[in-house]
Amino acid sequence: MSFINLQINVDELPVADLLEMEPMSADYEREVRTQQLIIWAPILLVSFLPVLVSGVIYLLAIPVLVLLLAGLIFHLVIRKSRAKGIAVREHDIAYGSGLYWRKTVMIAYNRIQHIEVSSGPLQRRFGLASLKFFTAGGSSVDLSVDGLQRERARQIRAWILARSDTADTE
Amino acid sequence: MNSADSLLNWQRTSAIAVVFYLLRAARRFVTDGLPAMAVILATYASAGESTRALMATGVIAAMGIGIIVSILAWLRFRYCIAGDRVLVRSGILHREELSVEFNRIQNISIREPFYMRPFSLALLSIDTAGSGKKEIVLGGIRESVARSLRETILSKTRHPEVGEKTNEQVDEDAPSLLLSRSSKDIVIYGLTINFILWFLIAVGAVFGAQDLSEKIFQWLASRIQLEQVLAVVQGDGSVFTGILIMIGGLLLLLLLLPTISVIGALFRHYGYRLSVEGETYRKNSGLLTRHDESLKRHKIQAVIWKQNFMARVFRRTNIHLRMASAGSAYESGQLPTGPKTTFIVPALNDGQVSELSAEFLPGCDAESAVYSRIDRRRFFKVILGFQVLPPTLLVTILLMLVASWKFVVILPLAVTFTWALLERRWRKMGYAVAGDHGFIRHGLVGSETTVFPLFKVQRVDIRQTPGQNRRGLAHLVIHLASHSLKLPHVKVADAQLFRDLALYHVESTNRPWY
């Protein structure tokens, strides 16, 4: 730790590395599955068209390939959704994501400008919501957490609002 | 104070504001329409009599529209001060009403453009922070009103922590001069500012994927569409003349750029004086247009020491003070370092740098910062192996197949060149923490060191690619309210420690960051 030169004891720092990530709600996985079905079902149907129109049996390879590709992506997307996690701590929130390309974002509550809870039509069906955090400087969302149960999202927002003087929107 | 109190009703600015709107529109037209201008000029040169007349009519009509729009913009503009906020109504077709709390104001500056000075009128610009990028410009109000308005706003945005104490102090602290710059200093500054730009344009084309240079290069490329110009020139000449004209133009540009930047620096910074009064810094400068900017110490998000190649020759450093910005300037199509959120202290020698840094960052111990370096192997491997080599290899092989095997020399040349540049960049890149301040240094020939109080950090990201994961490395991204800093290929443990330290400082203090 040669780059550091300071008065406080490094060993006493709250270590973000040891945070326990809370996985997303089980409903989130179901939402992701549904989302994938909605995307792939029409593509699969269309891929049967060449066979049906021409009658050449070898063209069945197209839907087979589509199915394989869909299966692979489906698998990866589900694994990716499982890799997400948040840790709500006393003074800050951490969000980890990514299957191979990992990313961990941390924001302290007293730097949050405002919090937004939103849920799309599909999310509402599964009782889910997205939590969005905004800090100063960036014009876009600084941290967006999908796949929380709506109650949990509101609970986290209330927890954070109680610990800072931020504004909120819904 | 009295003159500011009389602004409680809706006010209109002086009619001179029309000139301001007109100039602003003209500037926007020139910067946004540069490629079109080149094409128009080239067309004009090669056009017949009737087309020329038509084009001239078009230009006159455009100017007429500009004047009418400017007058309407002035007529529609109203402002007023209500309690602790500034209200503004503006817009010709799309009406807009803006209300800004004094607390949200980041920076107030007064400008006296040459066309307003005879009438003792001034421009007051108010920069705000927070969501939505907004800036209020009160064009053409009486200079005395502008000053008293600024005093009113500044006195009401007093830092909570400082509170009452400064109220007493202000009376004691008469403004004291921190720094003044002679014309010679300003000329040196002019030579140093844009040099990095020209240099990086040359280098940036081959190098520095995540660099500023690339952004500048893209920006220039999007504005100067050489192909279009060439196409028109080709209309009545050969390709050869076209190329000749382009080369000539490029040479002229290279000679012209330093001259332009020196003249620009003189216009902007002539008679530079920086003074401090309590917590407030005040900067006066300008040849024709006088600029009077002020900044509160606690609004400083980061201090950047910039020393590029030219500055090294003169042994000078420019200090940039960064304030909170709403959205990155680059996203909105402007150059990365807009003057709006940057407060420049030009052409300092080493003694002045440390003296002023201690002033801007109280408690910062820059002397004791010990810099660590990033992972050399990974840095070289990713840029050379993944970013430079594959395209170079492809081009070389293509050239060898199509033209001659002799093109094989490109390969060792490219590798050596990249290697040399990477070596320099790697040596310059470093990070440190000293006390409660963080330091991040970048550079190629010169260097750029950003110093920031750790408690002003907004957010920290740690990213890991699969390759980094295996080697225990990560990218560390630190987001300040002014801008973001990225450190590639740092040891994971270091990245996490840097983050934990920053968060520790953020969370253990109630000092507001703004």
Alpha carbon of B268 to those of A5, B340, B429: distances in Å?
A: 39, 14, 32
CA atoms within 13 A on the CB side of A96: 18
Per-residue pLDDT of chain B (514 residues; tens, 9 = 90+): 444 555 678 888 888 888 888 888 887 777 777 667 777 777 777 777 888 888 888 889 988 998 998 898 888 888 888 878 888 888 888 877 877 778 777 778 888 888 888 888 888 888 766 544 557 888 888 888 888 888 888 777 655 444 444 444 444 456 788 898 888 888 888 887 755 555 554 444 434 333 444 455 556 666 555 556 556 555 555 666 667 777 777 777 667 777 777 888 888 888 899 998 888 898 888 888 888 888 888 888 999 999 887 888 888 999 999 887 654 433 333 333 334 567 889 889 988 998 899 899 988 888 888 999 999 999 999 999 898 999 999 999 999 998 888 888 888 999 999 999 999 999 999 999 988 899 999 988 888 999 999 999 989 999 999 999 999 999 999 998 888 899 999 999 999 999 999 999 988 887 887 7
**Closest Cβ opposite residue A103 in set B331, B435, B461:** B461
Residues 52-91 of A with CB under 8 A from B: 91
Task: Give me the count of residues in chain A.
Answer: 170
Nearest CA distance, A36 vs chain B (angstrom):
25
- Which CATH number applies to A84-169? 2.30.29.30
Provide the ipTM.
Answer: 0.84
Q: Burial letters for A41-62: b for 16+ Cβ neighbours within 10 Å, e otherwise?
A: eeeeeebeebbeeeeeeebeeb
Nearest CA distance, A127 vs chain B (angstrom):
29
What is the reported pLDDT for B6? 58
Distance CA A129, CA A31 (A): 11
- Select from B119, B445, B113 the least CA-distant residue to B286: B113
Give the dihedral sign, CA B302/A103/B383/B215: negative
A139: confidence class by pLDDT, cuts 50, 70, 90 = low
Q: What is the dihedral of CA B344, B350, B352, B353, to 10 degrees?
A: 50
Domain coordinates in residue numbering, chain A: 26-80, 84-169
User: B184: Cβ–Cβ under 8 A, 6 or more apart, which residues?
Assistant: none
User: What residue in A sits closest to B372 (Cα-Cα)?
Assistant: A3
Distance CA B242, CA B440 (A): 45
- Contact between A137 and B479 using a beta-carbon 8 Å cutoff: yes
Distance CA B456, CA B299 (A): 10
DSSP assignment letter at B381: I
- Select from B77, B108, B93 the least CA-distant residue to B13: B77
What is the reported pLDDT for B233? 55
Q: How far from each other are the two terminal CA atoms of chain A, in whole angstroms?
A: 43
**Closest Cβ opposite residue B504 in set A13, A134, A136:** A13
Distance CA B150, CA B1 (A): 10
Neighbours of A165 (CB within 10 A): 8
Percent of chain A residues topping a pLDDT of 70: 83
Nearest CA distance, B372 vs chain A (angstrom):
5
Helices (H), B338-458: 350-360, 376-380, 389-402, 410-428
- Give, in words, the CATH class of B2-158: mainly beta
Q: Per 3-state DSSP, what percentage of chain B is helix, strand, and coil (rounded to 5)?
A: 50, 25, 25
- Contact between B503 and A4 using a beta-carbon 8 Å cutoff: no
- Contact between B494 and A3 using a beta-carbon 8 Å cutoff: yes
**Closest Cβ opposite residue A108 in set B325, B372, B507:** B507
- Contact between B483 and A137 using a beta-carbon 8 Å cutoff: yes
- Give, for B72, the enclosing helix (H) or strand (E): helix B49-76
Distance CA B182, CA B156 (A): 34
Q: Per 3-state DSSP, what percentage of chain A is helix, strand, and coil (rounded to 5)?
A: 50, 25, 25
Nearest CA distance, A78 vs chain B (angstrom):
19
Q: At what angle do helices B49-76 and B34-46 cross, to 10 degrees?
A: 150
Helices (H), B157-238: 163-172, 183-193, 195-204, 212-223, 226-234
Domain coordinates in residue numbering, chain B: 2-158, 179-362, 376-425
Distance of CA B83 to the CA centre of its chain: 33
- Contact between A103 and B497 using a beta-carbon 8 Å cutoff: no
User: B71: Cβ–Cβ under 8 A, 6 or more apart, which residues?
Assistant: B18
